[in-house]
Amino acid sequence: MPTLSPQVLEGLKAAAGDGGWLEDADAKAPYLTDERDLYHGDAALVLRPRTAAQVAEIVKICAENGVGIVPQGGNTGYCGGSVPDQSGLEIVLSMSRMNTIREVDAVNNTLIAEAGCVLADIQAAAGDAGRLFPLSLAAEGSCQIGGNLSTNAGGVQVLRYGNARDLVLGLEVVLADGRILEGLRGLRKDNTGYDLKQLFLGAEGTLGIITAAVLKLYPRPADVATVFCAVAGARGATAMLSRLRGATGDGVTTFEYLNRACLDLVLEHIDATRDPFQARHGDYALIELSSGREAAEAALAGAIEAGEALDAVIAESGRQADELWRLRETIPEAQKHAGGSIKHDVSVPVSKIPEFLEAAEEKSLQIIPGSRLVTFGHIGDGNIHYNLSPAPDGDARAFPGDAEKLCPAIHDIAVGLGGSFSAEHGIGVLKKQELEKYKSGVELDLMRLIKRTLDPKGIMNPGKVVTGSD
Structural domains of the chain in order of their starting residue, each with its CATH number = 101-219 (3.30.465.10), 223-333 (3.30.70.2190), 338-427 (3.30.70.2740)
Position 299 confidence tier, pLDDT thresholds 50, 70, 90: confident
Distance between CA atoms of 80 and 330, rounded to whole angstroms? 22
Provide the 10 A C-beta neighbour count for residue 162: 15
Tens-place pLDDT, residues 88-99? 999 999 999 999
- b (16+ CB within 10 A) / e for 400-427: bebbeebbeebbebbbebebbbbbbbbb
Tens-place pLDDT, residues 183-202? 999 999 999 999 999 999 99
Contacts of residue 9, defined as CB under 8 A and 6 or more positions apart, other chains included, come to 44, 45
Tens-place pLDDT, residues 370-424? 889 999 999 999 999 999 988 777 666 656 667 788 999 999 999 999 999 999 9
Provide the 10 A C-beta neighbour count for residue 100: 14
Distance between CA atoms of 165 and 351, rounded to whole angstroms? 24
Provide the 10 A C-beta neighbour count for residue 108: 15
Residue 275: strand pairing partners = none
Distance between CA atoms of 73 and 53, rounded to whole angstroms? 18
Q: Which pTM value belongs to this model? A: 0.93
Tens-place pLDDT, residues 50-87? 999 999 999 999 999 999 999 999 999 989 999 999 99
C-alpha distances (whole Å) from 91 to each of 21, 66, 86 are 10, 11, 11
HSE (side-chain half, CA atoms, 13 Å) at 149:
35
Position 37 confidence tier, pLDDT thresholds 50, 70, 90: confident
- Is residue 376 a contact partner of residue 385, using CB atoms and an 8 Å limit? yes
- b (16+ CB within 10 A) / e for 317-348: eeeebebbbebbbbbbebbeebebbbbbbbbb
Distance between CA atoms of 340 and 351, rounded to whole angstroms? 31
**Pairing of the two strands 91-94 and 69-72:** parallel
Residue 213: strand pairing partners = 113, 171
- b (16+ CB within 10 A) / e for 279-293: eebebbbbbbbbbeb
CA trace torsion 439, 41, 118, 24 (10° rounding): -160
